[in-house]
Amino acid sequence: MSCVRVLVVDDETSLADLVAKGLCRQDMAVDVAYRGDEADELLAVNDYDVVVLDRDLPGLHGDEVARRLAARGSLTRILMLTAATALADRVHGLELGADDYLAKPFEYPELVARVRALGRRSVPPVAPVLERDGLVLDSNRRVATRDGRPLDLTSKELGVLEVLLRADGRIVSSEELLEKVWDMNIDPFTAAVRVTVSKLRKKLGTPDPIRTVPGCGYAL
């Protein structure tokens, strides 16, 4: 699944970085926090699809992070990733608002599968295959075609195309594309969106299906 934005929170920096790196390889946009208070601040200002949350965190306990997130009515799904594996711990975590619970040590493929499943639940359900004017994108298989012609797209180009297809003709700003396809480490003044859209246009061919709205963004 693409266009999934994830926050990984763990005070074991090597583990957090490893998990984040692995999820990035699955075409997800991933940010990392090593403290509970830092995670709470990021969750308050960013629309994450999933947070992979350790419980025993410095600054602010992971339970309190989950409690505050639930109190805000956020759509962000919570996957608690922790060494606290007793039945009472699992039950308490789910009661706090967690959507899923994975014990350490864990198998990486299972973590990816659980994050993807939660990502699908973080937004209103949409068809995995998106179509518009001859453009077809299978968000599960990560392939796209135009009028039956396979498109050789990079992960970012696929992400931009998916966001535009999901917008269904609505204008999508560069800022929204940065938020959904890249991560918070991207320079907000970067030309990444413009360059990616330009390359995407060339691969899509003529007639150009992407409309540029000066000062506003892009639309199909």
This model's pTM is above 0.75: no
Spatial separation of the C-alpha atoms in residues 108 and 54, rounded to whole Å: 16
pLDDT at 205 over 70: yes
Cis peptide before 125 (omega within 30 of 0): no
Spatial separation of the C-alpha atoms in residues 80 and 58, rounded to whole Å: 16
pLDDT at residue 184 in the model: 66
pLDDT at residue 1 in the model: 43
The string of pLDDT tens digits covering residues 6-40 is: 999 999 999 999 999 889 888 788 999 999 999 99
pLDDT at 2 over 70: no
Q: How far is CA 79 from CA 52, 62, 70, 182, 190, in A?
A: 5, 11, 13, 21, 32
Pairing of strands 129-132, 5-9: unpaired
The string of pLDDT tens digits covering residues 46-58 is: 889 999 999 889 9
pLDDT at 181 over 50: yes
**Which residue, 131, 80, 112, 190, is CA-closest to 139?**
131
For residue 131, list its beta bridge partners.
136
Spatial separation of the C-alpha atoms in residues 207 and 220, rounded to whole Å: 12
Contact assessment for residue 172 and residue 218, using Cβ atoms and an 8 Å cutoff: yes
**Which residue, 16, 151, 132, is CA-closest to 141?**
151
**Token pair for residue 68?**
């505050």
Pairing of strands 100-103, 77-82: parallel
**Which residue, 41, 28, 36, 42, is CA-closest to 11?**
36
102 CB neighbour count, 10 Å cutoff: 18
pLDDT at residue 185 in the model: 67
Cis peptide before 207 (omega within 30 of 0): yes
Q: What is the largest CA-CA distance in the chain?
A: 59
> Domains in the chain and their CATH numbers?
5-121 (3.40.50.2300), 129-219 (1.10.10.10)
What is the chain's mean pLDDT, rounded?
86
The string of pLDDT tens digits covering residues 61-92 is: 998 999 888 878 788 999 998 877 677 777 77
The string of pLDDT tens digits covering residues 94-133 is: 777 788 888 888 888 899 999 988 887 765 545 567 888 8
**Token pair for residue 99?**
């959507």
Spatial separation of the C-alpha atoms in residues 189 and 174, rounded to whole Å: 10
